[in-house]
Amino acid sequence: MPIERTLSIIKPDATRRDLTGKINTRFEEVGLRIAAQRRIHLTLDQAQGFYAVHKDRAFFDDLCKFMISGPVVVQVLEGENAIAKNREIMGATNPANADQGTIRKDFAESIEANSVHGSDSPKTAALEISYFFNELDIVG
Ligand code: IDP
Ligand code: MG
């Protein structure tokens, strides 16, 4: 299995409830090392840029408003098969459809306020990591 890096974001609904530590434990328990991490408050421009792929979706404006409603924790996770492994432990976008024991099943408030983001492919991971981190910030 390849060692990969993926971009993770702990979203405002989770930072508001101080769930960063509990969520980070989920990553470390499955062998995803937190190789970089920063707590920031996104600007509207930054949120819109990050989610540009969704700019034509009906939920785009609300999603960007939600993402700037409080701090987020942006992080690089590193480990074997990190991209797919993170998506697996995150669970489905809508917590109502998420498997038992996943982060979204256990912590998400709604389909929008669903606690975590994770890159969905190697190409997206590289792009999303470079949106927030320099190579020198990442220590695996
Ligand atoms: P993902 O985060 O599971 O990859 P995406 O389809 O990429 O899901 O959507 C990005 C984010 O947009 C979701 O995590 C969620 O916060 C929000 N979102 C997606 N679909 C909806 C929706 O139907 N209503 C409201 N928000 C949504
Ligand atoms: Mg996505």
Give 42-77 pLDDT, tens digit per residue: 999 999 999 999 999 999 999 999 999 999 999 999
Question: What's residue 120's pLDDT?
Answer: 98
Hey, how many other C-beta atoms are within 10 angstroms of the C-beta on 23?
22
Q: Determine contact, residues 80/3, Cβ cutoff 8 Å.
A: yes
Question: What's residue 1's pLDDT?
Answer: 80
Question: What's residue 106's pLDDT?
Answer: 98
3-state secondary structure of 66: helix
pLDDT tens digits along 98-125 = 999 999 999 999 999 999 999 999 999 9
Atom of ligand 1 nearest to the CA of 87: 3
CA-nearest residue for atom 27, ligand 1, is 112
Question: What's residue 81's pLDDT?
Answer: 98
Q: Strand order of the sheet with strand 3-10?
A: 33-40, 72-80, 3-10, 116-118
pLDDT tens digits along 15-48 = 999 999 999 999 999 999 999 999 999 999 999 9
> Which residue out of 15, 76, 117, 119 is catalytically annotated?
117
How many Å apart are CA 74 and CA 134, to the nearest integer? 13
pLDDT tens digits along 119-140 = 999 999 999 999 999 999 999 9
- Whether 93 lines ligand 1, by a CB cut-off of 6 Å, is yes
